[in-house]
Structure 1
Amino acid sequence: MRSLRTILAASDLSALARHAVARAALIAAETGARLSLQHVVNVGAFDALRHLLDSDAAGLQDTLLKEVQGEAHALAAEMERRYGVSSDVHLMVGKVQAEISSHADAIDADILVLGARGAGFVRELLLGSTTERVLRRTRRSLLVVKQMAHETYRRVLLPVDFSPRSVDALHRARAVAPQAELVLLHAFEVPFEGKLRYAGVDEGALSSLRIQAKREATAKMNELVVASGVDEARVRRLVLHGEASALILEQELEQDCDLIVIGKRGLGLLEELLLGSVTKHVLAQSSADVLVIDRSQG
């Protein structure tokens, strides 16, 4: 199982984004990973500034950059005081998403850490524009932070489908939250259950099918835990009948989980534009932080 080596926390230095940096620092303190703190000044804003100012635009631009640099270094110093973790500070001017992705590649970051945005109905739009764009395009795991980082993660909810990537997902969950209890959730439905009911199959027969499906899923769950090599005493297993999105959100609350680890989904050429519907729904509606892993990674 590969441990975390490098964490990239990208921050716009807002109050909400500070939660993400604090979480990244807490993970770095727990895992011993290197922490890189990045702030990108949007080049479009500077272009607009130059357009508005006829003179001394360059001087004002330099002043603003120095001020932002001071804020970024102050944030890094605060993280070191609070968590004992030093961080590299990188201030860049450019297109935000492109600079984040480029820096993540340059330092070979194991995970990116960004803050979630939005409240109320805005949450239905998923996330802040920067986080959403990075999430849709990056090939790296992305931790979307929603809560203040009061302590290390205690309990992680990990939906599993028993695909070949399930063991890898479990290892990544353990890498980010090495001391947490893992709650493995498999949501199952009888194939064509609705159509079978419509066709006149009685509830007794459907119930028998559900029992058989649960028995098979439970066996696969046990095989997954053994194959992962994790401490079985720190794993809770749930095999539940129902729709995945609803069950994930229900069990997040019922099991008191503070992190959800879920796969990113894509379809061929549309991969950069689409997230799986379950992933999108969980990101929009969950209260816990969400680690989105790209299952195409090796």
Structure 2
Amino acid sequence: MTPIRTVLAATDLSAPARQAVVRAASIAGHSGARLSLQHVVSRGALDALRQLFAAQPGDLRQRLLDEARDEVRELAAELCAAHVVSADIHLSAGNALAEITSHADALDADLLVLGARGASLVRDLMIGSTTERVLRKTGRPLLVVRGEAGDDYRRVLVPVDFSPRGLKAVALARTLAPQAEIVLLHAFEVPFEGRLRHAGVSEAELAGLLANARREAGAQMAELIAAAGLPADAVQPVIVHGDPSVHILDQEQLQGCELIVIGKRGQGALEELLLGSVTKHILSQAKGDVLVI
């Protein structure tokens, strides 16, 4: 399995972000990893606050930072007691994107954990353009937490395209959820399927192409399961025809999966330059947590 030595959880101390740090503490606890809690106070918000006061205490900025530090310390102590994990805290003022990625690099974090929604000063932790920038800027796995963090993951959905990163995704899924059933999903499409119909290819010929594609996918799925060392009672392979974005979300609900583990990009040249369109869609529409690798 993929070792996790350091987990970085960034929080804005809001109620939604609390689920993320609880999940991070749970993961750190069962993997024996170091947990680092980070809180970023927006420097822009501090500057705006200063302009609102005609006369303000000279130590107002420091008092606000001290109050935030006390809140993070209390949270760390609570997490340590509940999950038998040690945690350090990191408080800074600045841009959330820059501060999070810089601290992750300094720690050489194996896993970043963010909440799907934020509040208060650090709105940068919300799903949207900033999360996409974090994903583009870092090569580290990022867990976006949306669901309740009370229980361990029981079922994990891993979409695979049979590229080498599929094994990495399975290994990381088993590390985060060692007792969970892994649902391996492959959605296949025949290239230019629609155009083939317009070009006069018969439905019988198309059906033959689809059958061949399904057989090939089945063989590749068996190879992946064997290479990953997944026992038969811990994996459920699913092979479907159609749009991966649609099938991933459908299977999340049908299979009752609490976590989706998905690659950062697809295989196309354009997708190598951008956060993959499928990944962006899953991040915005999934009901549960999403781990992007």
TM-score of the alignment, normalized to the shorter chain, above 0.5: yes
Displacement after TM superposition at 1:270 (Å): 8.9
Alpha-carbon contact 1:112-1:142 (below 8 Å) kept = yes
Letter in 1 for 2:110: D
Amino acid at match of 1:239: I
Q: Could you give the per-residue CA deviations for residues 187-241 of structure 1, whole angstroms, max 9, x where no partner exists?
A: 0011211111112222222111111110000000110111122333311111111
- Count of residues paired in the alignment: 285
Query: Do the aligned residues in 1 keep the contact of 2:188 with 2:242 (CA within 8 Å)?
Result: yes
Secondary structure of the equivalent of 1:58?
coil
- Note the 1:141-156 alignment, pairs <5 A: 141-156=141-156
Distance 1:248 1:93 in 2: 38
Given residue 275 of structure 2, which amino acid in structure 1 is its aligned partner?
L
What does residue 289 of structure 2 align with? 289
One-letter amino acid matched to 1:73? R
Aligned to 2:227: 227
C-alpha distance in 2, partners of 1:248/1:160?
A: 10
Deviations 1:260-290 (A, max 9, x none): 0001128889967x32111011111110100
- Tell me if 1:4 matches 2:31: no
2:20 is the counterpart of 1:30: no
Paired position in structure 2 for 1:195 = 195
> 2:211 corresponds to which residue?
211
Check the 8 A contact 2:262/2:292 in 1, yes or no: yes
CA distance in 2, matches of 1:271, 1:8: 26
Cα shift readout 1:124-170 (whole Å, capped 9, x = no counterpart): xx815543432232211100000110201111100000112211121
Indicate yes or no: 2:96 matched with 1:96: yes
> Structure 1 residues 269, 58: closer, same or farther in 2, change over 3 A?
farther
Q: Any conservation in 1 of the 2:271–2:277 contact (CA below 8 Å)? A: no
What is the Cα deviation at residue 171 of structure 1? 1.1
Structure 1 unpaired stretches of 5+: 119-125, 294-298
Across the aligned residues of Structure 1 and Structure 2, the Cα RMSD in angstroms comes to 2.0
For the residue of structure 1 that corresponds to 2:58, the secondary structure is helix
Query: Per-residue deviation at 1:36?
Result: 0.7
Partner Cα separation in structure 2 for residue 279 and residue 270 of structure 1: 10
Percent of aligned pairs with the same residue?
60
* Equivalent residue, structure 1, for 2:18: 18
- Partner letter of residue 226 of structure 1? A
Q: What are the Cα deviations for residues 239-260 of structure 1, in whole angstroms up to 9, with x where unaligned? A: 1111100000000011110000
Structure 2 length-normalised TM: 0.91
| Residue matched to 1:111 | 111
Contact 2:265 2:271 in 1 (8 A): no
Between the aligned partners of 1:2 and 1:76, the Cα distance in structure 2 is 25
Structure 1 Cα separation of the partners of residues 128 and 223 of structure 2: 39
Aligned to 1:64, the other structure's residue is in SS state helix
The AA in structure 2 aligned to 1:86 is S
Q: Which runs of 4+ in 1 moved over 4 A?
A: 54-57, 266-272
After the TM superposition, which of the residue ranges 12-21 and 193-202 deviates more from structure 2? 193-202
The one-letter code matched in structure 2 to 1:74 is E
Whether 2:236 is the aligned partner of 1:253: answer: no
Aligned residue in 2 for 1:39: 39
* Alignment gaps of 5+ in structure 2: 119-125
Return closer, same or farther for 1:129/1:11 CA change in 2, 3 Å cut-off. Answer: farther
State the partner residue of 1:85. 85
Preserved CA contact (<8 Å) 1:49 1:57:
no
Per-residue Cα deviation, 1:76-114 (whole angstroms, up to 9, x for no partner): 122123222221111112221111111101111011000
User: Retained in 2: the 8 A contact 1:116–1:131?
Assistant: no
Residues 20, 115 of structure 1: 8 Å contact kept: yes
Q: SS of the counterpart of 2:287?
A: coil
Which residue of 2 is the match for residue 296 of structure 1? none
Contact preservation (8 Å) 2:160, 2:186: yes
Paired residues of 2:79 and 2:85 also in contact (CA < 8 A): yes
Question: Structure 1 residues 204, 155: closer, same or farther in 2, change over 3 A?
Answer: same
Q: 2: distance between equivalents of 1:271 and 1:207?
A: 32
In the alignment, is the contact (CA less than 8 A) between 1:115 and 1:131 conserved in 2?
A: no
2:136 matched to which residue of 1? 136
TM-score, normalization by structure 1: 0.89
- Give the Cα separation in 1 of the matches to 2:96 and 2:117: 16
Task: Supply the distance in 1 between the matched residues of 2:5 and 2:45 (Cα, whole angstroms).
Answer: 34
